[in-house]
């Protein structure tokens, strides 16, 4: 599917995008183009049409999203809903109108109900309302699944919908205003060591659990799905493990070299109580299984941050 194809990656300048483009380059694509700000505002219909008309892709991989951690989701729920909804809706509609061969939509684990049985199975996706702090984002992304299935039924349009769990890795977003938990913890550890602090504070109780998916594994999963999977049923992609935020914080601090105390601000929300995906469908449908364990992935992420932090925080 990928060999000799023209591919557009929306959000290709972002964290996952950079890794995905490197992975795509190994598949013999005819061209790999990036549709991202400032050249293309994917909330604007005329910009999307210009992208399709000028780049003429065979296949679109839609990564672009407005995202952030719990604090950002609480601060900007309307923007997160509107921007993510309008990007997905217009990109799929125009892909159909432009005769695109295949559209790969990236959803989010935030689309799952708050109390989904663990591990999360794709069949449980509609069995409840998402966790309140990130529901607007999760539901906006989930509408791409509804659209994907509707367009396949009515138009025979080939689009697929992947559900990645929390990503991390080199070149992650370390901005404390919008970063997710791993880069936020890494930055907190180094900032505390810089100041000589003997403690650092983390939101929540630490009891919530999460699954973390190394970004290079995620890029490989997306390429395999783009190449081999042609159904509208959603597919989880993840690392197939679960760790508490408390254990994650202690492991991260240890790998960063921070020896102080971790204080927990229980007045702040934990978010969804537990998260872990059942990834058996990805293995069955397109042969994907994650290869990077958490400790290895964290070491690579921390090494990258140590090397680049002077540039990130100028």
How crowded is residue 280: how many other Cβ atoms within 10 Å of its Cβ? 14
**Dihedral sign from CA coordinates of 12, 6, 220, 303:** negative
| Catalytic residue set | 137
What local confidence, expressed as pLDDT, does residue 68 receive?
Answer: 77
Rounded to an integer, the average pLDDT of 209-231 is: 97
105 falls in which pLDDT band (50, 70, 90)?
Answer: very high
This prediction's pTM: 0.94
pLDDT on residue 267 = 94
Q: Is residue 68 in some structural domain?
A: yes
The strand ranges marked E within the chain are: 6-10, 31-35, 59-62, 102-106, 159-164, 166-168, 199-203, 209-210, 212-214, 235-237, 243-244, 261-265
Dist. CA 14–CA 16, nearest whole Å: 6
Task: List % helix, strand, coil for the chain (3-state, nearest 5).
Answer: 45, 15, 35
pLDDT at residue 178 in the model: 77
Worst-scoring range by mean pLDDT, 177-181, 228-232, 267-271, 277-281? 177-181
Q: 119: cis peptide before it, omega within 30°?
A: yes
Does residue 179 fall inside a structural domain? no
What digits encode the pLDDT tens for the residues 152-191? 999 999 999 999 999 999 999 998 877 889 999 999 999 9
Question: What is the predicted pLDDT for the residue at 73?
Answer: 83
Q: Per the domain annotation, does 26 fall within a domain?
A: yes
Domain residues for 77?
6-170+212-242+274-292
Question: Would residue 305 count as lying in a domain?
Answer: no
Per-residue pLDDT, 15: 94
- pLDDT for 226-265, tens place per residue? 999 999 999 999 999 999 999 999 999 999 999 999 999 9
The 10s digit of each residue's pLDDT in 28-83 is 999 999 999 999 999 999 999 999 999 999 999 999 998 877 788 889 999 999 99
Count the domains in the chain: 1
Question: 271: closest CA among 178, 208, 202?
Answer: 208
Share of the chain above pLDDT 70, in %: 99
In a domain, 249, yes or no: no
- A 10 A CB-CB count for 93 gives 15
Q: What is the pLDDT of residue 314?
A: 61
**Which of 67-81, 92-106, 164-178, 192-206 shows the lowest per-residue confidence on average (mean pLDDT)?**
67-81
Task: Look at residue 285 and tell me if it is in a domain.
Answer: yes
Nearest to 42 by CA among 93, 101, 108: 93
- Could you tell me the CATH number of the domain that includes residue 284? 3.40.50.720
Domain contains 182: no
More confident residue, 128 or 72: 128
Within a domain: residue 251?
no
In what side-by-side order are the strands of the sheet with 159-164?
A: 31-35, 6-10, 59-62, 102-106, 159-164, 235-237
Across residues 80-108, what is the average pLDDT? Answer: 98
Do the Cβ atoms of 249 and 186 come closer than 8 Å? no
Average pLDDT estimate for 276-295? 98
Average pLDDT (281-309) is 97
Q: What is the mean pLDDT of the chain?
A: 95
């Amino acid at each position: 599917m990928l060999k000799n194809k023209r591919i557009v990656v929306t959000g290709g300048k972002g964290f996952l995008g950079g890794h995905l483009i490197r992975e795509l380059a190994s598949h013999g694509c005819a061209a790999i183009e990036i549709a991202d700000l400032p050249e293309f505002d994917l909330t604007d219909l005329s910009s999307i049409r210009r992208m399709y008309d000028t780049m003429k892709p065979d296949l679109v991989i839609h990564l672009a999203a407005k995202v952030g951690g719990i604090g950002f989701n609480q601060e900007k729920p309307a923007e997160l809903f509107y921007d993510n909804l309008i990007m997905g809706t217009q990109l799929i509609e125009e892909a159909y109108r432009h005769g695109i061969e295949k559209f790969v939509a990236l959803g989010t684990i935030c689309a799952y109900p708050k109390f989904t049985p663990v591990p999360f199975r794709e069949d449980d996706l509609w069995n409840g309302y998402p966790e309140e702090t990130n529901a607007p984002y999760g539901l906006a992304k989930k509408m791409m699944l509804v659209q994907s299935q509707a367009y396949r039924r009515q138009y025979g349009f080939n689009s697929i919908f992947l559900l990645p769990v929390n990503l991390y890795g080199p070149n992650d977003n370390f901005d404390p205003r919008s970063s997710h938990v791993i880069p936020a913890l890494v930055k907190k550890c180094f900032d505390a060591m810089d100041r000589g602090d003997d403690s650092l504070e983390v939101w929540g109780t630490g009891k919530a659990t999460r699954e973390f998916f190394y970004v290079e594994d995620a890029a490989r999963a997306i390429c395999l799905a783009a190449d081999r999977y042609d159904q509208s049923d959603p597919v989880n992609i993840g690392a197939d493990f679960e760790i508490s935020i408390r254990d994650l914080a202690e492991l991260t601090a240890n790998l960063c070299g921070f020896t102080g105390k971790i204080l927990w601000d229980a007045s702040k929300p934990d978010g969804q109580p537990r998260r872990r995906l059942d990834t058996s469908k990805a293995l069955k449908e397109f042969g994907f299984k994650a290869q990077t364990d958490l400790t290895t992935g964290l070491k690579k992420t921390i090494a990258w941050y140590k090397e680049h932090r002077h540039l990130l925080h100028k």
